[in-house]
Structure 1
Amino acid sequence: MYAKFSTLLNRKLVICGLTGSSLLLSSSPALAHHPFGDKAPANVFEGFLSGLGHPVIGPDHLAFVIAVGFVAVVFQRGLLIPVSFVVASLVGTIVHLLNVDLPAPEFFISASVLLFGLLLALKNSLPSGVVIALAAVAGLFHGYAYGEAVVGSEMFPLLAYLVGFTTIQMAIAIGVYLTVERMGGSREQQTMNLRFAGFTLAGIGVAFLSGVVLN
């Protein structure tokens, strides 16, 4: 009886962690990619706040950062997964600012949520190195989208923006990782909870991907 209650409780905690992402499905795409509307940050304060806001109010970005935290629990050297994603997102932003085009970024961002959800849901046995590389590829596209919000910004607001989105992404991903690690319960219960989270994230990814394809 206690084991069943613990499993249900842990699943409710997982649901709470994902609810914000699913509710944001109805958010305005323009707002999700521009914390200050269409205005580039004009100073360090705006740059930092914009960096903090972009991954959070962008539902596709938020869902993937949460997914990265969950996936980090499953694989060996798991914390390298969010690290590789965040570092690559910095590179992706720079790529955008250098006017280098990446193909279909919104498609690949939505697909990344679906892919990492499936990695959890289907207990994929890919080597951790492959997952780290996939996180890095996803980071390039997420970072490329982040770059749109700071086109035309001066150096210091831009640097503050980079610090902001690096900080918030690492905080969310590591926070999810530590929360799952400290939930307790048996390994089987943890596996079930993670698979449940994976199916939820995969469903969110399908919704995002459908919106991109049908628009």
Structure 2
Amino acid sequence: MVKQLRLFTVTAPLALVPALAYAHSGDHGIAGFAAGFAHPLSGPDHLAAMLAVGLWSALAKGELKRAVWAPLVFALALLAGAAGTMLLGWAPPLVEPGIAVSLLGLGLLVAWRVDLPRGAGLGLTLAFALAHGAAHGHELHGAAALAGMVLATAVLHSAGLAFGLLMRPTAMRWSEGLGATLMTFGALRLAGVL
């Protein structure tokens, strides 16, 4: 039964992936610290991903080593991706699919409380964060907006981490359902439904 549930957790959201969604296209002209801070709180994909990074950090089956490094690496890579887009005009391909895939991946990591080797976890964290940073870099104007976005991201990571640590003793009861919900959200983003 557990194997079937895990297989369903992975395959059900993937059945919803026929097309790509582009929610961050265009220039939204977000300027100022307060607007930058509010921006990740208003986007459900960014909000879900940032909370999921904190949750994954707290819920991994191994030690809590990732509790510090994954959110920190994510925030720094998000900053690098956004700054690269803002200052250098960096335009990596497949940013929107990358954001949706980050939700799928983080959902899987939360659902199964995966404790990846440090190198693999670091690489995945960097890839996910760069996609989010590149998308938001097109929308932000100025260092104050960028600083606000990164601070809000850190706050969301901390909230996810705190919730995950608080609920860690009962994680087996709820993490697969929450992870499947994140994966479904990611699949719906890829499909263009959301």
When normalised by structure 2's length, the TM-score is 0.77
Aligned runs of 1:116-127 on 2, under 5 Å? 116-127=106-117
What whole-Å deviation, never above 9, does each CA across 1:55-76 have from its counterpart, x for those lacking one? 1112211111111111011233
Residue 166 in 1 paired to residue 150 in 2?
yes
2:75 to 79, 86, 99: 86
Q: How many residues align?
A: 168
For 1:116, what is the secondary structure of its paired residue? helix
Sequence identity of aligned pairs in percent? 29
Aligned equivalents of 1:202 and 1:169: distance in 2?
A: 20
Partner residue in 2 for 1:57:
42
CA contact (8 A) 1:110 1:208 kept: yes
Q: Which amino acid aligns with 1:176?
A: G
Distance in 2 of aligned mates of 1:198 and 1:139: 18
Match of 1:199 among 176, 180, 187: 180
**1:126 positional shift:** 2.4
Q: Aligned partners of 1:123, 1:169: CA distance in 2, in Å?
A: 21
Matched AA of 2:49: F
Q: Distance in 1 between matches of 2:79 and 2:180?
A: 29
1:33 shift after superposition: 7.6
Of the structure 1 ranges 102-111 and 78-87, higher mean CA displacement relative to structure 2 is found in 78-87
| AA partner of residue 179 (structure 2) | G
Tell me the distance in 1 between the aligned counterparts of 2:161 and 2:112. Answer: 19
Give the structure 2 partner of residue 177 of structure 1. 161
Per-residue CA deviations over 1:25-64 (Å, capped at 9, x if unaligned) read xxx946x986xxx3352xxxxx112211221112211111
* Pairwise CA distance, 1:118: 0.8
CA deviation map 1:77-105 (0-9, x unaligned): 22211111110011001221201220110
Amino acid paired to 2:65: R
The one of 133, 144, 150 aligned to 2:134: 144
Residue in structure 2 matched with residue 67 of structure 1 by the alignment: 52
Aligned to 1:208: 189
Rounded to whole Å, the distance in 2 between the matches of 1:86 and 1:182 is 22
Q: Deviations over 1:153-202 (max 9, x none)?
A: 4xxxx221122111111111111211232247xx3x22332222111111
Superposed displacement of residue 134, structure 1: 0.9
Q: Which runs of 5 or more residues in structure 1 are unaligned?
A: 1-27, 42-46
Q: Which has the higher contact order (CA 8 A, sep 6+)?
A: 2
Which consecutive unaligned segments of at least 5 residues does structure 2 have? 1-21
Q: Is the 8 A contact 1:33 1:58 kept in 2?
A: no
TM-score (norm: length of structure 1): 0.70
What secondary structure, in the 3-state scheme, does the structure 2 residue paired with 1:103 have?
A: coil
Partner of 2:91: 101
Q: Secondary structure at the match of 1:83?
A: helix
Counterpart residue identity of residue 190, structure 1: A
Checking the alignment, whether the CA contact within 8 Å between 2:54 and 2:156 is kept in structure 1 is: yes
Structure-2 change in CA distance of 1:195 and 1:128 (3 Å): farther
